[in-house]
Amino acid sequence: SAAPVSNFIRTIIDGDLASGKHSSIVTRFPPEPNGYLHVGHAKSICLNFGLAKDYNGKCNLRFDDTNPEKENAEYAQSIQDDVRWLGFQWNGEVRWASDYFDALYDFAVELINKGLAYVDDLTPEQMREYRGTLTQPGRNSPNRDRSVAENLDLFRRMKAGEFADGAMVLRAKIDMSSPNINLRDPVIYRIKRAHHIRTGDKWCIYPMYDYTHCISDALEGITHSICTLEFEDHRPLYDWVLDNITIPCHPRQYEFSRLELHYTITSKRKLLQLVNEKKVSGWDDPRMPTISGMRRRGYTPEGIREFAKRIGVSKSENIVDMAIMEGAIREDLELRAPRVMAIINPLKVTITNADGAQTREADFHPNMPELGKRVVPFSKDLFIEADDFAEVPPAGWKRLTLGGEIRLRHSYVMRCDEAVKDATGKVVELKCSIDHDTLGKNPEGRKVKGVIHFLSKEHALPAEIRLYDRLFTVPEPDADRDVDFCTHLNPASLTVVQGWVEAAVRDAAPETRYQFERLGYFVTDRRDHQPGGKLVFNRTVTLRDSWAK
Ligand code: ATP
Ligand code: MG
Ligand code: MG
């Protein structure tokens, strides 16, 4: 909706375009294919692809595939599906950092030739010791002054597989006493015999992220390389690498704050733990903050994009309330989801004077006649929601009570004449009568305020209805490093009920969204729902904010 909201990155881009530094922009979204994308990635996608769209530029999708043991093709596929589902298309072909392995190797040789990189065979413990700490400068490795010839020979033999995994590394020669630890001769290549999803067993050395990322950006002609704040301290290394190799392009890195959401987690590693430990049904479990989980929950791409717009882009760290996401989703669904009736917890109603009762047609949406109409059947045996009846009503009760009247949505005014109880005193059935003169018009001489939804029992279809609550019981489940975040899982995050729905939804395809009047927004499950067969609905969000406390 409407114009984009400005932010500090847009201000920078506006300046770069105005000054002629760039004539158009190129951004990129660079996920590692080591898990499914989550809501934090959605923010980054909306930012990078959104900028490209608004400025008539380009956004690349590049896989940062430099950790072969953690990466797989399923993850890479899911990431592409998620980006497209969110409504974005990348520039040209998908890119892979592994496409640049040869170039990255050649640039490393260039650094060695310039005396700016060396092979080091200190043990990892020695490396750590030499590196120093935040308060203590590091010390030069005894291998720092190896000759160029020796470094070239060792690096070539690292590549040729002559040394064991971890036996040595290639390091950039920068400054062991820099206050920025990232500049204390960072490792840029390591030996790792791991099968890579794209290069197979061709390589047994792999470049490190910081070294790979800046060069990949430059090779692709990225103008604005946008990442999260934890990379701010890596920016000097990003610039050092590009300043010291022969490459015509030097992208600029800008950092913004990560998205974090209350009552959930935004770390692929922890989400993977939930999947592996079967705390959820999979990456796309509707309780997961993954893009595929949100999709299966019934969130819309438009709603998620609106959420990203509302939270904005800045450098200040804050944790966002789930209510902001749910508000954006609800507002989107309100405008377009057809409205039908469903019953989650049925109470049987027998109409004692149903003879001659009529059915009526009703619009699927009050403001969208183009969504059409359906018949709302009426008959002697109905279901209403059990909590729409109270024998002893609390003050202000607008629903049904003994002797009281309500309007059945899209149908008659009905009075409750008798509550039938079982041996335990529980109300199991209501005997009610309708005013035959109230179909589509107000009753004479009295006002009936309450409206409740209902279903005709013989026409209703059974459906599995899945109701969700927050996944964790505390706002910041991973705040305490000493406590496993899984101890905060909400045991009641999923409730499955056998409910009833209008026959009008019988043939709905998977991923069809509805408002069930008064109950919330629901979507037919992407995996388990069968049109015309087993009906399965997930509650996307309630009609009102149930998070505010
Ligand atoms: P995780 O810690 O969950 O593994 P990551 O940053 O390692 O996340 P990547 O696949 O490297 O995951 O991320 C791709 C892009 O998404 C990066 O540019 C990263 O900055 C961005 N991103 C990741 N998490 C968030 C977040 N919570 N908020 C905003 N952007 C994020
Ligand atoms: Mg990463
Ligand atoms: Mg990561």
CATH of the domain at 13: 3.40.50.620
3-state DSSP assignment of residue 227: strand
CA of 34 to the centre of ligand 2 (A): 9
- Residue 80 has a CB neighbour count (10 Å cut-off) of 15
Strands annotated E in 301-340? 319-320, 339-340
- Domain annotation covers residue 128: yes
Q: Which ligand is nearest to the CA of 232?
A: 1
Pair (141, 224) in one structural domain: yes
- Domain annotation covers residue 167: yes
- Domain annotation covers residue 316: yes
CA of 268 to the centre of ligand 3 (A): 6
- Domain annotation covers residue 414: yes
Pair (327, 357) in one structural domain: no
Question: Atom 10 of ligand 1 has which residue's CA nearest to it?
Answer: 31
Choice from 27, 36, 44 to test ligand 1 binding pocket (greatest atom count within 8 A of CB): 44
Pair (147, 104) in one structural domain: yes
- Domain annotation covers residue 549: no
What would the DSSP string read from start to end of 382-438? EEEEGGGB-SSPPTT--SB-TT-EEEETTS-EEEEEEEEE-TTS-EEEEEEEEEGGG
Task: Tell which atom from ligand 1 comes closest to the C-alpha of 260.
Answer: 27
Q: Phi/psi of residue 247, each to 5°? A: -145, 135
Structure confidence at residue 318 as a pLDDT band (50, 70, 90):
confident
Pair (244, 392) in one structural domain: no
Given 390, 425, 452, which residue is the final one in a domain? 452
Spatial separation of the C-alpha atoms in residues 516 and 542, rounded to whole Å = 10
Given 452, 473, 503, which residue is the final one in a domain? 452
Pair (479, 359) in one structural domain: no
- Domain annotation covers residue 245: yes
Range of the domain at 438: 342-452
Given 392, 419, 452, which residue is the final one in a domain? 452
258 an active-site residue? yes
Check pLDDT > 80 for residue 316.
yes
Pair (388, 467) in one structural domain: no
Pair (149, 231) in one structural domain: yes
Structure confidence by residue, pLDDT tens digits, 491-514: 999 999 999 999 999 999 999 999
**Number of compact structural domains in the chain:** 3
Spatial separation of the C-alpha atoms in residues 414 and 290, rounded to whole Å = 45
The pLDDT of residue 2: 65
Structure confidence by residue, pLDDT tens digits, 349-386: 999 999 999 999 999 999 999 999 999 999 999 999 99
Say yes or no: CB of residue 31 within 6 Å of ligand 1.
yes
Find tokens 């923010």 and name the residue: 43
Say yes or no: CB of residue 39 within 6 Å of ligand 1.
no
32 an active-site residue? yes
Check pLDDT > 50 for residue 547.
no
Structure confidence by residue, pLDDT tens digits, 104-162: 999 999 999 999 999 999 999 999 999 999 999 999 999 999 999 999 999 999 999 99
Beta bridge partners of 497: 465
- Domain annotation covers residue 137: yes
Pair (103, 248) in one structural domain: yes
Strands annotated E in 84-168? 95-96, 117-120
Pair (89, 118) in one structural domain: yes
Say yes or no: CB of residue 253 within 6 Å of ligand 1.
no
Task: Tell which atom from ligand 1 comes closest to the C-alpha of 268.
Answer: 3
- Domain annotation covers residue 457: no
Q: CB-based contacts of 297: which residues, under 8 Å, 6+ apart? A: 286, 287, 468, 523, 538, 540
Q: Active-site residue among 28, 58, 268, 457? A: 268
CA of 105 to the centre of ligand 3 (A): 24
Pair (348, 332) in one structural domain: no
Pair (433, 472) in one structural domain: no
**Interface ipTM:** 0.96
Say yes or no: CB of residue 143 within 6 Å of ligand 1.
no
Pair (389, 313) in one structural domain: no
Check pLDDT > 70 for residue 250.
yes
CATH of the domain at 444: 2.40.240.10
Structure confidence at residue 4 as a pLDDT band (50, 70, 90):
confident
Structure confidence at residue 545 as a pLDDT band (50, 70, 90):
low
Question: Atom 23 of ligand 1 has which residue's CA nearest to it?
Answer: 41
Task: Tell which atom from ligand 1 comes closest to the C-alpha of 231.
Answer: 20
